[in-house]
Structure 1
């Protein structure tokens, strides 16, 4: 699909449509939808911004490429004056006092936020079922999960309720729902986009990223949001990606992990489709190399050890004193306990308890420090791999999306569904989901700060598989 952003921009400039009519159309679709993608509509603000865009056009003023383009925001981002709930009971009435840097950059470019989107509470989940707003339903089959935690963002894009959406990816939370709903979803290099104003889950792997229906739209949004931010010390300076730079493929060698494909966990259809894609790539003259990597259960256990430890620390501030829905009890300690136990979801409580355990005396040396050491080994392994190959290709998930309700019955199975995404998160690498190659798409991964080569190869695969 060609760029929706460019197509709509031209329609606005040529006055074939008005921005007000466009925004109202999307608001109506969001209002009527039955996929549980909406936490709150930003109708008044959105329509007021749309009027300003229409006025500029009528006055003959130029508008920017993103100006007037309606987009969605996962409900873990601060957007001043809006409810920012993280799909949790604890923050159901919380209003943002400021705006996240990534969202502000889009606002500065003229894009119009129209919806705060449903997600797993605090990003804790891989299905978008752990939410007070009801499980998000898959765009292609509403009996199936939408994926998570950015499920509402992915479905809104897939159903054309938004032109693009901004999700958050900690261990696969953009890439997996993008795959489940057959769209593009990018987890950039860690730090390429500022995390300031994103509610922290696991600070060492949290990434801001776009979901869209075309590679070109991903490129446009990435360029706008990227850059060093004084408010985020982990943010980095990055080079803008030119449209012409991603038109011609320069990839000579790709790799894939043997153990991902030989695993007992992978569905036969996913395995067969992936190997078919590999053969099609080989037929173009590109060299394919089978790589050795850590077993998927080691990746999952390492990721969840560190992620749970970090979320236990990050969420310790949410006790009803400064933030959230306070429940009074007999004394202060009981008030903290009741507020947290009554307001956090079962999955969030599970992760906090697990995180506090691995950080506790007697466990931290044996478990947490071992997890840190394994993360370093994983990064070193990737450094070695990218000396041999330009790109690593992998399935997004080992199986098709499950039915709604199944993941809640088996949290362990939900964690294992992240087996093919968390390794790239631990190494802080850029990874793009494309809606081709298997039932839940393919992941294209490159070395740090190499988003350009990923987008090049995605364009190449669009015509190849």
Structure 2
């Protein structure tokens, strides 16, 4: 099974390469920042850690599978002593006082952090253009967006600047850029990986997500980060996914897809054509394929953004320059809060905070916010019913190909609608994987809650038939 992690591990153990040289090579690729993927390099830390790995190997000591493997971190994760800016003016000088649980588990396993990666400010965007560090450029065509909000993480993996990267997925922020850059990106079941130390956007859908070039590397990284965390009460104990368990898809008998996604006028004709061709390939392998009914895309987008904006308005209320961020003093405390947030937050972030406060305000919360919660329950119930009929659901990742840099900023509504095929699975808190097959922007594979193993299993099956 393809795996950069295993390949590099074997080369390190056999002394074909040194960890120090490997890290220096990756840092040399990142330093020019050709695709605006780098917010800050962790070069000194990375090289010091690499030297320790080389010493262990020289002394004949065993090393773990992830030990010495270079990786990237989306710049919304706390890593003690590093700048954690969320690609925002407000936090451009903020240094983390602690390390996120998911990242600490990787560090404990010996993985070497190279870079804090560019993203949409506070995760607010679908293109990685809403950032003070410059728009992330697509790995395949630098005139196009890298996707968002984990655009820097996806492009770094696609360009081989990092072996894997850790993104964050709220409504598609790992899956969509993975699709735009033709790599793998996983949103695991909500709660499988601790969110402690991940800067909160919408807490009820935020997920830590690995991005890599192979299913096996996704599996390896997922296993290391998973597990119960006393610092995150939404987490749960999960079983390790074994390599042999995802090699045989014989127990997958039925696959579903949402016919309204495919019949939508918004979908690009080439993406639709390729998706329907994928369905025929699956049928040819003796698997039953069922067309399923689901909520219309505009309902999904409206429900998601109603709830996400409400949560981000609440989560970001602490960022007023008092305890965190770049404070701007005015004549009184209230004006200081106002000017600090007005001057330091992006237009997109302000748009989402204003929208969130609106739907939570008296006179609107019953009519809008509570209705959004009720719709979310209906969406979750719809998924439960679907997974009584099918084992797996597949869908396009996006209705359209990646736009040119600049186009999304002119039309925020179009940017929101680019999430039409990802946000439903976030609301359902389901495990969903983008694979770089099936359409120009890949396919999504989704299973019922806690069935992350099944998602990886079907991804291996698709890799062999597409």
Global fold match (TM > 0.5) = yes
What does residue range 146-295 of structure 1 map to in structure 2 within 5 Å?
146-249=146-249, 250-295=251-296
- Hey, what's the Cα distance between the residues in 1 that align with 2:73 and 2:252? 33
Count of residues paired in the alignment: 465
Q: Write the deviation string for residues 59-111 of structure 1: whole angstroms up to 9, x where unpaired.
A: 00000000000000000000000000000000000000000000000000000
Match of 2:56 in 1: 56
State the alpha-carbon separation in 1 of the partners of residues 151 and 93 from structure 2. Answer: 22
Correspondence 1:126 to 2:116: no
The answer on 1:388 being equivalent to 2:396 is no
TM-fit CA distance, 1:332: 0.6
Partner of 1:357: 358
SS of the residue 2:115 aligns to? strand
TM-score (norm 2): 0.99
**Hey, what does 2:301 align to over in structure 1?**
300
SS at 1:387 equivalent: helix
Q: Which residue of 2 aligns with 1:418?
A: 419
Equivalent residue of 1:289, what SS?
strand
Deviation at 1:395, TM superposition (A): 0.1
Q: Distance in 1 between matches of 2:54 and 2:37?
A: 28
Residue 429 in 1 paired to residue 415 in 2?
Answer: no
CA distance in 2, matches of 1:461, 1:35: 30
**Which string of whole-angstrom CA distances, capped at 9 and with x for unpartnered residues, describes residues 218-267 of structure 1?**
00000000000000000111110000000111211000001000001101
1:330: Cα distance to partner? 1.0
Shift of 1:184: 0.1
Name the SS for the 2:389 alignment partner.
Answer: coil
2:87 aligns with 87
How far 1:32 moved relative to its partner?
1.9
Inter-partner Cα distance in structure 1 for 2:235 and 2:352: 26
Structure 2 Cα separation of the partners of residues 156 and 309 of structure 1:
31
Aligned residue for 1:14? 14
Q: Distance in 2 between matches of 1:187 and 1:237?
A: 17
Matched, 1:143 2:148: no
Looking at structure 2, the residues matched to 221 and 379 of structure 1 have their Cα atoms a distance apart, in angstroms, of: 28
Which residue is equivalent to 1:329?
A: 330
Q: Secondary structure at 1:336's aligned position in 2?
A: helix
SS across alignment from 2:71? strand
In structure 1, stretches of 5+ residues that fail to align are none
Distance 1:56 1:31 in 2: 28
| Pairwise CA distance, 1:33 | 3.4
- Counterpart of 2:388 in 1: which secondary structure? coil
Q: Secondary structure at the match of 1:32?
A: coil
2:68 is aligned to 68
SS at match of 1:191: coil
Other structure's SS at 1:432 match: strand
State whether structure 2 residue 455 is matched by structure 1 residue 454: yes
> Structure 2: how far apart are the matches of 1:195 and 1:397?
26
Whole-Å Cα distance in 2 between the matches of residues 437 and 329 of structure 1?
A: 55
In structure 1, C-alpha distance between the alignment counterparts of 2:334 and 2:122, rounded to whole Å:
23
Indicate the SS of the match to 2:31.
helix
Aligned to 1:442: 443
- Alignment-derived partner of residue 316 in structure 1: 317
The residue correspondences of 1:103-114 to structure 2 (distance < 5 A) are 103-114=103-114
RMSD: 0.5
Structure 2: state its 5+ residue gaps.
none
Number of the residue aligned with 1:35:
35
Report the alpha carbon displacement of residue 2 of structure 1 after superposing the two structures with TM.
1.1
Partner of 1:89, secondary structure, is: coil
* Whole-angstrom CA distance in 2 between matches of 1:289 and 1:277: 13
- C-alpha separation in 1, matches of 2:121 and 2:127: 11
Paired position in structure 2 for 1:372: 373
Q: Structure 1-normalised TM-score?
A: 1.00
CA distance in 2, matches of 1:343, 1:218: 36
Describe the SS at the equivalent of 1:371: helix
Give the match for residue 343 of structure 1.
344
* Aligned residue in 2 for 1:96: 96
Once residues 351 and 187 of structure 1 are traced to their aligned partners in structure 2, the CA distance between those partners, rounded to angstroms, is 23
Q: Which is further off, 173-182 or 27-36?
A: 27-36
The Cα of 1:355 is off from its aligned counterpart by: 0.1
- The corresponding residue for 1:44 is 44
Secondary structure of the 1:139 match is coil
